[in-house]
Amino acid sequence: MTLVVENRVAEGAISYADGLAWQRERVAARQANIIPDTLLLLTHTSTVTYGKSANPANRLLTAEEYAARGIELIPTDRGGDVTYHGAGQLVGYPIIALGEGNRDLHRYIRGLEEIVIRACDLLGASGAGRADFHAGVWHGDGYLAAVGVRVSRWVTHHGFALNVTKEVRENFATIVPCGVAGKRIATVSELAGRPVTVAEAASAVETVARAHFTRTE
């Protein structure tokens, strides 16, 4: 089956609530086999999200302080702790049906990490890889991409958030990203040694994701 990619980066940042609604619509359609596997690529307005098992201490501001900074604070149904979405970041939401023989969530998450790592390679952002202390994509102690997923009736949603430009760093300082203290925020532009746009990163992710998820049934 060929992957369908909905690249909405050029439409500008959307709210987290709108992104979640888009996901849920497509999850229901994928469960009913109305649509093929789909990847949503987009950017979000400033939002801090936290998963079901998140530690409240990893949110460093009060709700009022987040609001004053224009950051939405939203609980979500994905796994993982707390993370930030905003300008300078590419978000990818794969809506993938995990069929018989592919229902290994650990392998699926490793696959998402691999997509991001290979996309970084295409962009000239060398050195991206995994860490032995936490999921996601890292450059040494630099957090480059968060990964958090949910599976419903063996259809995935949520996904990854890739830090592309330095714009994303400021509001990451309001949280302990994914509950891992003492780590810096890395960006694709930093690793590439040149300005990389979110649109350029989306194009690279699309290329790699099509190859990764396309399969014959």
**Mean pLDDT estimate for the chain:** 93
Query: Which of the four pLDDT bands, split at 50, 70 and 90, describes residue 100?
Result: confident
CATH number at residue 163: 3.30.930.10
For the stretch 100-126, what's the b/e string if a residue is b when 16 or more beta carbons lie within 10 angstroms of its beta carbon? eeeeeeeebbebbbebbbbbbeebebe
CA nearest 22: which of 51, 46, 44? 44
What is the per-residue pLDDT across 120-175, written as a single tens digit (0 to 9) for each?
999 999 999 998 878 899 999 899 999 989 999 999 999 999 999 999 999 999 99
Stretch 72-91: mean pLDDT: 90
Query: Model's pTM, two decimal places?
Result: 0.94
Of the residues 71, 175, 178, 209, only one is catalytic, namely: 178
Pair 138, 161: CB distance under 8 Å = no
CA–CA separation, 19 and 217 (whole Å): 29
Residue 7 pLDDT > 50, yes or no?
yes
Verify whether residue 178 is a known catalytic residue.
Answer: yes
Angle at the Cα of 146 from the Cα atoms of 94 and 15, rounded to 5 degrees? 65
What is the per-residue pLDDT across 162-202, written as a single tens digit (0 to 9) for each?
999 999 999 999 999 878 888 899 999 999 999 999 999 99
Residues found in the chain: 217
CA–CA separation, 120 and 43 (whole Å): 18
Residue 111: domain span: 4-213
Total structural domains within the chain: 1
